[in-house]
Structure 1
């Protein structure tokens, strides 16, 4: 759910020209949106963020969240004012230790620094606020999830505006420090490395986390409540932190049996994707969110994924996102196939690894599952539209598209391509067009037709991905369902459930 209903507070208009030695553009307001076609008001223009320091207090009893967020940024143009994406009620804003004027409306915090900020100026922006996050909704929906024992700040593509002010788009990543004080006896989980707790004199405890690698704002999360926390290290010596809600009930055992295998799944995926890109890993299991999300270093899973026993397929999906989506993020939300197609294909790879069905068998079965007249085939994984961004076709047809590419260029070129792609765009963002260009360069083949058929054609391809010669569909006998598929299907339906 994007803040697409935000009020547009004006666009950056052409400024008057200064006739000096040449012409230059005068200072002007930063744009109220980055310009993403799916969510035009997401993000902001005129500055680039390098770090967020989020220091908060949260009272589960009344859902009050208060504190300050300090933003380190640099202007990218001469600015007369700029926007932050934020829903909660701010009480003060300071820029480089000077009080700034501000207004709030429609999910935008508009900051007036009282004087022009020249391009290249280092900014320390301090926003103080206090509010009830669950009282704020956009199009009738709130991404902040209040629970019986606390709250969860988790959703895609938007969660940040419900708990910290930001430049809310994946193309402006930053490092994070998150510090949350809660009544003692309540636990807090966030991204990155756990920095410990401090007992406060008021009977509260402060929890600290640090994300040392650049992170998109929607991947920053916090889970507050009653959790069992398990800490260990993986084979590379990285810290592993897993957390299990005390409300899991009968799903507790299967949740632990799945999420505790995160380092094993990570080791396996490193063989295909290259070195794990972050400093920590882990997962969180909790009831009531209805989906799983790849929060950077600490994916979060609804307990329903484990209702029928352990499920390492959803773990493989979310761990794969640490490369595809977290380390290499979408340039625009239309590029979502780069996230979901490859994370879904990781489930095929895991199925093959554990002997429950080859990638080809999974691709064949999926292809046979949807008849030609099924609306499934009308959704374009390469440009699904905001309304279908998390449609099942983005996952399933997206995974078939990946397998079609693998079959076309061969394993050596395919896995070499993945490693080069992830290494070359690490900690950045990229587009489908970037990926196609690299695939053609690595393979030495012209691949426009393959991508057109699998990503951009609103009909069922004539041939299953990987069909001999790529020309004829396998129509003689419907392929058997792979052993893995029931789990994969369960996983897929829940993963797509957060399409708001």
Structure 2
């Protein structure tokens, strides 16, 4: 049975996402004044109608803090209503199933983060600049979209702002031109990207290019330069390690932005991670976070959950990557970290379901650490060579796609001589924490590269 346009199929955030169409491409043109926090923008959205019958109305997610001045569908004015962070559009003519159509939305105002139980999400002013941190539902704070994590699209993002500022946005820098006191930056994102992973960062930054098999770019305030270069100095070795374990790096490059402000936690975006000034100390004190955010490029950004209940497929895998880096770099082994975290989780209330934690526990530490433990249990059950072969096939098969827990457990079963139903039942679908997984007899003990 089809779902009516404007009704989300995602139970965690039923107010987000829209049925009846899917978006192929977003072209965003943003003119932004940093000091005034003033945005004037246009979005051209190329989409396919997918409703079995004709689509006579549809919705986009867009913050009510922004004012819409006009909407065109295929070049013709369309009626619209903008209330409750929903932009409802009625085109002049109904759209037939399979029709490619273009929606142009002109809008502007003072963008602000969208409220959530985790604080503000999306476009947010810094002391002197902007950060966009949209996970999970902050994308409508700055552009009209179909805010569904499984709906991936390509992007072209053009940002005009004061020439004193560096702009970093999702994708490859395709052009930059200066006119009087402003500079226009153009970025193109060719790989399919979820709305919450599209990003814009604005600040008084300098940048350093790091050449290698995967080109890296470090963007930071000049006063933090020495710390940043030290703290991210082993990132190339991380990429090499993770490429061997997880398969080829899934994007053309990787950018790290360090803001001049402190941030509560780092944030991942497509082919980009954003850290606060408090995450760099010049002593690699937060190197586990460097590994964690890098791992998200495979697990979360290339492979993106179909539904937010699958969050362990992002955070559990990235947390386990921290343990793998620790082990490979000569620090604590994954076994030691698993034992320590198992003791901590065992002391907590046994009321947590990893495969469906609920929206209030989306970023509960148990999503991260029990997720990592579940992967460690699987690694011990399979042995290193089958386990890392599984991860490489997982990332290769679903590259730039949407994934579910069921898809992962079904694939994992092919790498085991014995049934894994009990293991997955205990770790994913049972509230009580299972015992720490036993060492596999004859296991080599180290990750296969």
Q: Same fold (TM over 0.5)?
A: yes
Partner residue of 2:132?
A: 153
Separation in 2, partners of 1:12, 1:442: 36
Partner residue of 2:433?
A: 460
Structure 1: 5+ residue stretches without partners: 1-10, 14-28, 470-500
- Deviation (angstroms), 1:441: 1.8
Partner residue of 1:134?
A: 112
Q: How many residues align?
A: 434
Correspondent of 2:313 among 324, 328, 338 = 338
Partner residue of 2:255?
A: 282
- Deviation (angstroms), 1:137: 4.4
Give yes or no for contact 1:196–1:208 (8 Å, CA) kept in 2: yes
1:131-280 equivalence runs, <5 A = 131-134=109-112, 137=115, 141-201=120-180, 203-235=181-213, 238-246=214-222, 252-280=225-253
Partner residue of 1:416?
A: 389
SS across alignment from 1:133: coil
Distance 1:399 1:137, change over 3 A: closer
Distance 1:198 1:466, change over 3 A: farther
The answer as to 2:79 corresponding to 1:107 is: no
Correspondent of 2:55 among 69, 79, 82 = 79
- Deviation (angstroms), 1:347: 0.7
- Deviation (angstroms), 1:149: 0.9
- Deviation (angstroms), 1:215: 0.6
The answer as to 2:313 corresponding to 1:349 is: no
SS across alignment from 1:407: helix
The answer as to 2:94 corresponding to 1:116 is: yes
- Deviation (angstroms), 1:351: 0.7
- Deviation (angstroms), 1:456: 2.3
Separation in 2, partners of 1:288, 1:99: 44
Separation in 1, partners of 2:283, 2:37: 33
Give yes or no for contact 1:175–1:215 (8 Å, CA) kept in 2: yes
Partner residue of 2:333?
A: 358
SS across alignment from 2:112: helix
- Deviation (angstroms), 1:467: 4.3
- Deviation (angstroms), 1:193: 1.3
Distance 1:343 1:186, change over 3 A: same
Give yes or no for contact 2:197–2:268 (8 Å, CA) kept in 1: yes
Q: Could you report, residue by residue, the CA deviation over 1:8-32 in whole angstroms, capped at 9, with x for unpaired residues?
A: xxx987xxxxxxxxxxxxxxx6233
1:291-330 equivalence runs, <5 A = 291-307=265-281, 309-310=283-284, 311-330=286-305
Give yes or no for contact 1:12–1:30 (8 Å, CA) kept in 2: no
Give yes or no for contact 2:226–2:282 (8 Å, CA) kept in 1: no
The answer as to 2:344 corresponding to 1:369 is: yes
RMSD over aligned Cα, in angstroms?
A: 2.0
Separation in 1, partners of 2:79, 2:116: 25
Distance 1:208 1:264, change over 3 A: farther
Give yes or no for contact 2:383–2:440 (8 Å, CA) kept in 1: no
Separation in 2, partners of 1:468, 1:207: 53
- Deviation (angstroms), 1:234: 2.1
The answer as to 2:406 corresponding to 1:427 is: no
Query: With structure 1 as the length reference, what TM-score do the two structures score?
Result: 0.83
Distance 1:142 1:191, change over 3 A: closer
Separation in 1, partners of 2:116, 2:210: 39
Separation in 1, partners of 2:324, 2:347: 29
Separation in 1, partners of 2:195, 2:379: 32
Give yes or no for contact 1:192–1:281 (8 Å, CA) kept in 2: no
Query: With structure 2 as the length reference, what TM-score do the two structures score?
Result: 0.92
- Deviation (angstroms), 1:416: 1.1
- Deviation (angstroms), 1:155: 2.8
- Deviation (angstroms), 1:258: 2.4
1:458-497 equivalence runs, <5 A = 458-461=431-434, 463-467=435-439
- Deviation (angstroms), 1:136: 5.8
Q: Could you report, residue by residue, the CA deviation over 1:7-56 in whole angstroms, capped at 9, with x for unpaired residues?
A: xxxx987xxxxxxxxxxxxxxx62332x1121112211111111111111
- Deviation (angstroms), 1:261: 3.5
Give yes or no for contact 1:212–1:279 (8 Å, CA) kept in 2: no
Partner residue of 2:75?
A: 97
Give yes or no for contact 1:364–1:465 (8 Å, CA) kept in 2: no
